[in-house]
Each structure stands twice: as C-alpha cells, then as structure tokens.
Amino acid sequence: MRKTISILLLALATFAALFLGNFPALASHTHRGEEIFSHHCAACHLGGGNIVIYEKNLHLSALVKHHMNSINAIAHQVKHGKKAMPAYKGHLSDHQIEEVASYVLKQARKGW
C-alpha cells in the first residue's frame, strides 16, 4: 500500500512540475509576443484584422478556414511570408517568431 501511495505521489509531483510550473513562462512568452507583434505586425494586423486582404485576418474563424490555427502554421507563415505577407526570416529569430505565433493564436482564441 505504501509503495502504491509513493508511486502516486511521485507521479503527481512529476505532473505538477512538468505542466503546472510552466504557466508563468507561458505568460511571459505571450507578453514578448505581444511586444514583437506591436512592433512588426500591428500596422497591417491591428486588432487581428488585415488591411491588405480582409479575409486573411487573424480572427479564429479565418485562421481555421485557412488552416492557420496552430502555432506551427502561424510561425511558418511569419517566417516565410506569402504573397503580400513579408517573410520575417532573418529579421526575427526562430524564438521570436514562435513567441509572436503563440500571441496571435492566444489572441484569436480570446477574440482579440
């Protein structure tokens, strides 16, 4: 019985360390993403909009429609660009691109 309790406590501690301990890091991750977005993206995407191609805005419904509703998909678009969207590879680090992608997805889920 004690062995079972010890294993359960160890599993609970591991889960807490891996998942619950990361929330402050995620919060700062999206805060830096917000700063990057404000500096590099807001001119065209203020409030999740798109002043160039309205339908390609950053609202969740548009992201889903265009298969851009993941951090990886958004980061790829930011990094490589497409049509009117400039590529930020070489201007932003991979880490900065991931931060802004996280921020965009978080804001889209919140409704901007």
Which domains does the chain carry?
Answer: 22-110 (1.10.760.10)
- Buried residues in 34-69 as b, exposed as e (16+ CB within 10 A): bebbeebbeebbeebbbeeeeebbbbbebbeeeebb
Instruction: Give per-residue pLDDT as tens, 34-46.
Output: 999 999 999 999 9
pTM of the predicted model as reported, rounded to 2 decimal places:
0.74
pLDDT at 18 over 70: no
